[in-house]
């Protein structure tokens, strides 16, 4: 799977789960201030990503450092390449 395919799956999952506009999912967009997600949404995001990519996310510190859409992309791509 290419990085672009991974990004497309992530974005499609976020659009479906949080009813976001796909055009708003630019890498620099802040999840909290611009997309208005909150900490409970982050829990849902972890579950969505775990199901989409069939892996468990156990690194709470890394999740707490996610602030932008690009951070999600980088995190998942790194996780899949482990």
Cα(6)–Cα(17) distance, rounded to whole angstroms?
A: 16
The per-residue pLDDT for 82 is 82
- Give the domain range for residue 48: 3-80
Q: How many distinct structural domains can be found in the chain?
A: 1
The per-residue pLDDT for 57 is 86
All residue ranges of the chain with pLDDT < 50 are: none
The per-residue pLDDT for 62 is 86
Q: CATH number, domain at 60?
A: 1.10.1200.10
CA distances from 19 to 3, 11, 13, 24 (A): 23, 11, 10, 11
The per-residue pLDDT for 12 is 97
């Amino acid at each position: 799977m290419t990085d672009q395919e991974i990004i497309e799956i992530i974005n499609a999952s976020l659009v479906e789960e949080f009813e976001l506009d796909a055009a708003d999912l630019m890498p620099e967009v802040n999840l909290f201030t611009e997309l208005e997600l909150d900490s409970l949404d982050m829990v849902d995001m972890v579950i969505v990503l775990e199901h989409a990519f069939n892996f468990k996310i156990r690194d709470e510190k890394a999740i707490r450092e996610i602030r932008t859409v690009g951070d999600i992309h980088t995190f998942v791509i790194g996780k899949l390449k482990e």
